[in-house]
Amino acid sequence: MSKVATFMVVDNKDLLPEFLQDLARLGIPCVTFSDCSGFGKSTLLSEESLFQSIEKIMSADEVKEKTFLFFVLDDSKLEEIKKIAEKIFGEANKPDTFFAFATDIMWMA
């Protein structure tokens, strides 16, 4: 059993309460959130230079997704978390669902 950090990007913010309730039932009570907007899907991309498009995206109020981070102290729960996420958001990595990955924690303070 190892400790892992799990990162997720969720497209449908309205489905988060149900997912967070299921995480809490699994014993994962703490989640850190931040707003994000995917570069590839941004309506602010244009024929302008890449730098100009990035400037527009960075200054826009456009927030399409939520990114969040949570820690799983028992990595055997990862498959169950994936099943719950796919039940709520849809199949992983399909358009307008979610993207997630987990990585081992080598050090944590």
109 part of a folded domain: no
Q: Which amino acid is at 58?
A: M
CATH number at residue 24: 3.30.70.120
Average pLDDT, the chain: 78
CA distance 80 to 29: 16
pLDDT of residue 28: 85
Task: State pLDDT tens for residues 75-104.
Answer: 888 999 999 999 999 998 788 888 898 998
81 part of a folded domain: yes
8 Å CB contact between 101 and 6: yes
Closest CA to 43 of 52, 53, 55: 53
- State the residue range of the domain holding 71: 4-104
| Beta-carbon count within 10 A of 62 CB | 12
8 Å CB contact between 11 and 64: yes
pLDDT of residue 44: 47
92 part of a folded domain: yes
What's the number of domains the chain is made of?
A: 1
